[in-house]
Amino acid sequence: MGRIKKKGTSGNAKNYITRSQAVRKLQISLPDFRRLCIFKGIYPREPRSKKRVSKSATPSTTFYYTKDIQYLLHEPLLNKFRDQKALAKKISKALGRNEVSDAARLEKNLTPRLRLDHIIKERYPTFVDALRDLDDALSMLFLFANLPSTAEVPPRIIAKCQRLTLEFEHYLIRTHSLRKSFLSIKGIYYQATIRGQDILWLVPYRFVQRTGGDVDFRIMATFVDFYTTLLSFINFRLYTGIGLVYPPRLDAKSEEQGAELGAFQLESQGQSEASTAEEMVESGVNAKAQAEADRLLAVSEPEDTTLPPPGIDEPTDEQTTEGEPSSTALDTFAPIDPHADALLQPSLTADAQTAGQLFEAFTFFLSRETPRHPLEFILKAFGCKRVGWDTSLGEPGAYCGSEDDKCITHQIVDRPDIPLPSPPLTDGEADADDEDDGVFVRRHNERVPGRIYVQPQWVWDSVNAGQLQRPDLYAPGATLPPHLSPWVKPRKGEYDPTLSLAEQETVAEAEDEDVEDELEADQALNGASEGEEVEGVRGDKEARQLENELDEGDDLEGENGMDVELAASEDEDDAADKAEVDAVGEDWGGFSGDEDEVDALTRHNQSHQAELEAEALGRTVQSTPADPKKAAREAAQARRARAEKEAQEDVERRKMMMPRRKRKMYEKMVHSNARKDEEAEKLRGKRRKIEKAAVKRHGMA
C-alpha cells in the first residue's frame, strides 16, 4: 500500500496561496501588502479550478503564486514597513500622553524614507524594457499633473508630476521624437518613437476636475510613487544620451507666471562644465583647483575645428544618440507573387528630420480661446521655433505677445468667421485724429491682411498626415473635415470616411438610393399647391368631356353613312397575335434565357389579352406606358437576386463537404463579417442623410 498523501501538500494546492495566508506569512498589514505587490509587479492569479486549490470548505476569491510570495520574503522594504508600524505606535502613545511636540518631532525625524531604486533595476534590466512599460506611467503622471490639490492628492505630488512630464516633453521637442496625436473625448493621445519603441499615452483636457469619493487614491498614489521614480530614471538616461544636463534649470519666477515649457533652461554638458570652471576661477581658489578648471575648459572645447571632407555629412543628434542614419532614402518592397497582397511600404512621416521641418518656416500666434500648452508642445516638437500667444495665456516664453506683429504667418483661432478689415475711409469721411496720424488702425476682431487663419484641428491633421493640409478647409467658421484616428486603418469592405459614397457603396445601396430619389421627386411633384391641383383636375375633366363629345359625334356620323373602320375579324386577330409572338420569340433566347425576360413577355401577353377582352365588350382600356428605367432596374435586381441565390447554393454545397469544426469556424467568420457590413451600411446611411440635408440647405439658401 502506497503512502497516503496529505491534502494541500502537492499539485495546484501547493502552487497557489490565498491572500490572507500571504499576509500572515509576510507579517504585514493588508495595505502594506498591496503597496509591496504594486512595487514588485506581483498580481493575483486565477487558477483553473478553485476547489482543488482551496484548502478550506469555502473557496477563496484571491490567489497568488507561492513562489511570488516567497520572493517577497527577502524584500528590504519589509523592514521599512515594520519601522513605519513601530513609529506609528510611538506617535500614538505620545499623543495619548498629550505630548504633541514629541509626536511631531518623532514624525519629522524618524519617518523612514522608501527608496525604489533597486526595484526599478530589478524589474527593468535594460533601458528598452523600461521604455516599453512607459505608456501607463505617462498616462498616470499626466493625469495627476492636471488634478487639483486635495487632502488625498497633496500639492507636492502634483508639482513633482508636472516637473517630470514637462522634462519629458522637452526631450521630445529637442529630438523631434513625437510622431502622431489625436483629439478624442477622453483627452489627447500622443505617440512618440524613442530608441525604436513606440510609446502611446493619454493627456486629459484642462477642465475643472472634480474628484469623487468612489476613487481609492491610496492605490493610485502607490502607482504614482513607483512611476515617478521610473520616469526620473528614464529622463536622466534620455538627457545624458543627447548631451544635456539633468535635471534642467527651472526658473521659479517664470513658473509662477505660467511659463510651463518656457520655465526650463536646457544646457549641454560642455556648457555646464565651462560655467562651473569659470565660477571656480572667479572665486579665487588655489592653484590645484585652477589647474582642474583649466583641464575642464580644455575638455569642453572641441579638439578638431576643421570642417569634414566634402561628400561626408555631419552626424545629427538623432544619429549620434540612436545610431540611425540621417538619409531619407527608404527601401521599397515588391512582392514576388503578382497576385499576392500589397506589402506595406515605409513612410517618411516616421523620420525625425522630416518631422523637425514641418512647421520650421512659420511663425504661429495662438488666440486666447485656443489650448495653449498642447499647441505649443506639438508646434515646437515639429520644428516651429517661433510661437506666440495672447497675453491672457501668459507672457513668459512667448515669441510675440501682440496680435499685430507683422512676422506672424499663421494665426490659430477657434471662433466664428472673422471679417476682413474694412477699407480705409476717404479724405472727407476721415476723422481728425486719423488725418493727423496718417495711419490706418485695424478694428478689433478683424483679420490681418497677408496672414493665414486656421482652426486648431489643422495642426493635428497636418501632423498625422506628415504634410501641410489645405488651410482653406480649416478656415474660421468652416465645416471641418472629419478628424480620424491615425492608428485605425480602414479595411476592405468597412466604412472609410475619407472616400466618397460612390466609391464604397454597394450596387444594392446605389439602386435603393435611386429609388428613394425618384420617390422624393414624385412627392415633390405631388406636393404642389392645392390651387394648381384643382385647376389641373378641372382641366382634365373638361378634356375628357370634350373627347367624349367628339367620339359621340363620330359614332353618329358613322351611322349616317360615313366610312367607319370595322373591327378586325377573329382570324386576323389570331394572325396578329401569332406574328407578335413570333417576333418576341426571335428576341427570346429559348429556355436558357433570363427569367426576367420571360416575365416581361408574360406581362405583355396578359396586357394584350386584357385589351382584346375590353374591346370585345365595348370598353375603353387606358394603356399605361411602361417605364424603361423601371423595367431595366427590375431586370437588374432580378439578375442580382438570381446570382446571389446561385452563390448561396454553391456555398451551402461546399459547407456540406467541410468538417464540423471548420464549418463552425466558417459560420462564425461569416457572422462577424455580416455584422461589420451592417455597421458600415448604417454609417453610410447616416452620411447619405447628412449630405442630402446639406444639399437641401444650400439649395434653400
Domain assignment of residue 84, given as a range = 16-109
At 583 the pLDDT is 46
Indicate the residue among 267, 282, 310 that finishes a domain.
Answer: 267
Q: Where are the alpha helices (DSSP H) in 58-154?
A: 66-72, 77-96, 100-109, 117-123, 127-132, 134-145
Q: Residue 364 domain-assigned?
A: yes
469 and 509 share one domain? no
Q: Cell numbers 580644455 label which residue?
A: 298
Q: Residue 664 domain-assigned?
A: yes
Amino acid symbol at 200: L
Q: Residue 543 domain-assigned?
A: no
Indicate the residue among 244, 267, 290 that finishes a domain.
Answer: 267
Q: What is the pLDDT of residues 498-536, one digit of tens each?
A: 777 777 777 777 766 666 666 666 666 666 544 444 444
395 and 452 share one domain? yes
Distance between CA atoms of residues 487 and 189, nearest Å: 11
Q: What is the distance between the terminal CA atoms of the chain, rounded to a whole angstrom?
A: 98
Distance between CA atoms of residues 469 and 460, nearest Å: 10
Q: Residue 135 domain-assigned?
A: yes
Tell me which long-range contacts 234-237 makes (C-beta under 8 A, separation of at least 24).
Answer: 234/127, 234/130, 234/131, 234/134, 234/168, 235/164, 235/167, 235/168, 235/171, 237/127
The torsion angle over the Cα atoms of residues 540, 544, 549 and 555, rounded to 10 degrees, is 160
At 530 the pLDDT is 47
131 and 259 share one domain? yes
HEC string for 358-403:
CCCCCCEEECCCCCHHHHHHHHHHCCCCCEEECHHHCCCCCCCCCC
Q: Residue 483 domain-assigned?
A: yes
59 and 206 share one domain? no
At 333 the pLDDT is 66
Q: Residue 140 domain-assigned?
A: yes
39 and 139 share one domain? no
At 427 the pLDDT is 54
211 and 255 share one domain? yes
Q: pTM of the prediction?
A: 0.69
Q: Residue 466 domain-assigned?
A: yes
83 and 198 share one domain? no
Amino acid symbol at 406: K
Q: Are 672 and 664 in contact (CB under 8 A)?
A: no
87 and 188 share one domain? no
We report the CATH number of the domain holding residue 448 as: 3.40.50.10190
Low-confidence ranges of the chain (pLDDT < 50): 280-287, 289-290, 292-328, 348-350, 430, 432-439, 529-539, 541, 543, 546, 550, 552-570, 572-573, 576, 580-581, 583-594, 597
Distance between CA atoms of residues 184 and 205, nearest Å: 10
Instruction: Outline where DSSP puts E strands in 439-511.
Output: 452-454
Distance between CA atoms of residues 486 and 494, nearest Å: 16
48 and 86 share one domain? yes
105 and 134 share one domain? no
Distance between CA atoms of residues 61 and 374, nearest Å: 44
At 545 the pLDDT is 55
Domain count, the chain: 4
144 and 258 share one domain? yes
Q: Are 202 and 187 in contact (CB under 8 A)?
A: yes
598-617 in b/e burial notation, b at 16+ Cβ within 10 A? eebbeeeeeeeeeeeeeeee
43 and 141 share one domain? no
Indicate the residue among 232, 267, 302 that finishes a domain.
Answer: 267
Q: Residue 116 domain-assigned?
A: no
